[in-house]
Structure 1
Amino acid sequence: MQRLNLIFILFLVSAVALAQQPIPRDTSFTIQSTFVKEKKHRPYIEIARPEMSDGVVFLKDQVYKKLGERTLTADVYYPKKKIKGNYPGVILIHGGGWRSGDKSQTTSMAIALANAGYVAACVEYRLSLEAKFPAAVYDVKSAIRWMRANSKKFHLDSEKMATLGMSAGGQLATLVGFTNFNKEYEDATGNPKQSSAIQAVVNIDGTLSFHHQESREGTATSFWLNGTFEENPKVWESASPLDHVSKQAPPIVFINSSIPRYHAGRDDMIKRLNSFHIYSEVHTLPDTPHPFWFFNPWFTPTVNHAVRFLDQRFKN
């Protein structure tokens, strides 16, 4: 009996230790390290740090999803002043090859959007060291449902919501929008009565197809999708927004660098969108590195393109 009790105690200790293990992190992709790298080639760049208006409220690390002991959080910026009809919302999704990066990398964009009259939520999502595809898609859709459930708190117009993502986040922002009403792409964890559908997409240099003649996807993609295309072709296709163009797809704006591989599949997507009479527009910033959105002189034009597109969709 004593031996059984000891085994049980050891099992409990092991289980608690396992539950308390830190989440694996890849910190290789940061704004500062990217700045140092890019400044060698373009010495005139500076990290964009817009000032937050006095009329904006900031709420940090708001828990939007619980998975056992694991919590996922969002930083929310929203206009303080109440208005009739409330403000449109934008879910911001950071890049980093689905493996690195964090929600703080969308802070500057969120501040700019909140200053422009939007409810902006920078969302954390599970990266590939912690969970493979489609966990990140589930998480973003959970965040959308959570925002709608808290619409009164954030002065949010829940019928006017968009996703905005950069690089890997751009791919996720588009896939989330192009799988509107597709239950296979959400786990319904938290606020299942709310919709995860969004009404517009801002894709900032995010790939649209993983297996495409313009694509140059490699180890980061294979790791996230749990195998190469040859090993797991159906998953590669299901993760590609291009394969989900339908009449349910929302309007989209592409804001791109001058490097073609980062908008692989875009032109084919536009042709398919046109067949459904779904609006799209393209803005390519000349002579730009891939992570251009972090830096001046490109941050302000990027914001202007995004806000103009969103205003046309939601405010006109």
Structure 2
Amino acid sequence: MNLRTYLLSCLLCYFVFITYAQIQVPRDTSFTLHGTYLKERKYRPYIRISEPKVDTQIRTKLNLVYDHIGERPLFLDVFYPDGDSSTRYPGVVLIHGGGWQSGDKSQMHSIGKALAAKGYVAVAVEYRLSLEAKYPEAVYDLKAAVRWMRANADKIQLDTKQIASLGTSAGGQLASLLGVTNENPDFEGRSRGNAGQVSDVQAVVNIDGTLVFRHPESSEGAAASNWLDGTYEQNPINWELAAPLNHVSRNSVPIIFLNSSIPRFHAGRDDMIKKLDRYGIYWEIREFPDTPHPFWFFSPWFQPMMDYTVTFLDGIFQ
């Protein structure tokens, strides 16, 4: 990159930052990595915040704009192998948790780096949370991010035929919803950027994300109500439409469930498996005993979780 190009790039980033800073986006900062660590180590003092094992060089592109909602930009971060620029790699869209109202894309960076080191293009996505926008806007954002990935495949060395969605907690619910709504125009939203691209995904990694909101196994409450624009009694349609379990069809994709030992975060899993079996769609379960819900942040569970993830994705894509 020559000096002129570099300076123009810096100037563009500056103007994007200034524009974004002037837009008042409501934030809930209750769900943070450090706060979660302090809470969980009271019960399991042996845990440590995980740092991925990265034995190869990876490339990183942070805070790229993938779409606009009016004046409001939406950002994503990309991690991919540092290799021959002609090589194309499978992609994974990474969706953070936080009860649909908190959390941020940086919480997926460790997973992104670990995947990039194993030959994947990992894209951590910002999406609008419940203080800013109600269901189904987050789904529209994520599908727009997948379309951006395909539109920019040459820049990030992406194989456009191989994209998975991976999410943690609320992000696991969203990742699963992406995987059961391929070719469903009701979940695309209004025409947005990269409309000529498709938003389909080919696999799902669900890390402790609920699959249904109204169910004997489910105990979703205020956080779900905030996102779904009312309680079940006030807005039953959203509660049913947002449940991945209710959309399983022959167009659904292979899925791995990576679960903590807390049953409420597996809500609907067994019923979903029955539906997947009906259509002959592959699935796996890996459950980690004696684990807190946000186990994905911490050693000793991070590395085996990533091993299961990569083995599953390699089996689907290679």
Pair in the same fold by TM > 0.5: yes
Taking the aligned partners of 1:302 and 1:70, their CA distance within structure 2 comes to 35
The 3 A distance-change label for structure 1 pair 70 and 21 is closer
Counting matched residue pairs gives 298
The alpha-carbon deviation at position 52 of structure 1 amounts to: 4.5
The 3 A distance-change label for structure 1 pair 61 and 83 is closer
CA contact (8 A) 1:79 1:119 kept: yes
Taking the aligned partners of 1:130 and 1:160, their CA distance within structure 2 comes to 31
The alpha-carbon deviation at position 54 of structure 1 amounts to: 5.0
The alpha-carbon deviation at position 85 of structure 1 amounts to: 5.7
**Which of 78-87 and 35-44 deviates more?**
78-87
Q: Which residue in the other structure is 1:114 paired with?
A: 116
Q: Which residue in the other structure is 1:306 paired with?
A: 309
The alpha-carbon deviation at position 69 of structure 1 amounts to: 1.1
For the pair 1:193 / 2:227, whether they are aligned, the reply is no
For the pair 1:202 / 2:173, whether they are aligned, the reply is no
**Runs of 4+, deviation exceeding 6 Å:** none
For the pair 1:104 / 2:106, whether they are aligned, the reply is yes
CA contact (8 A) 2:52 2:303 kept: no
Q: Deviations over 1:198-224 (max 9, x none)?
A: 000000000000000000000000010
Taking the aligned partners of 1:247 and 1:164, their CA distance within structure 2 comes to 20
The alpha-carbon deviation at position 154 of structure 1 amounts to: 0.7
Unpaired segments ≥5 residues, structure 2: 1-20
Taking the aligned partners of 2:222 and 2:140, their CA distance within structure 1 comes to 22
For the pair 1:268 / 2:267, whether they are aligned, the reply is no
SS of aligned partner of 2:94: strand
SS of aligned partner of 1:306: helix
Taking the aligned partners of 1:61 and 1:53, their CA distance within structure 2 comes to 24
From 89, 93, 96, the equivalent of 1:94 is 96
In our comparison, the structure showing a higher alpha carbon Rg is 1
> Residues 200-239 of structure 1: matches in 2 within 5 Å?
200-239=203-242
CA contact (8 A) 1:175 1:239 kept: yes
Q: Deviations over 1:102-159 (max 9, x none)?
A: 0000000000000000000000000000000001000000000000001011111000
> Residues 270-285 of structure 1: matches in 2 within 5 Å?
270-285=273-288
For the pair 1:28 / 2:30, whether they are aligned, the reply is yes
CA contact (8 A) 1:82 1:155 kept: no
CA contact (8 A) 2:211 2:266 kept: yes
Unpaired segments ≥5 residues, structure 1: 1-18
CA contact (8 A) 1:133 1:225 kept: yes
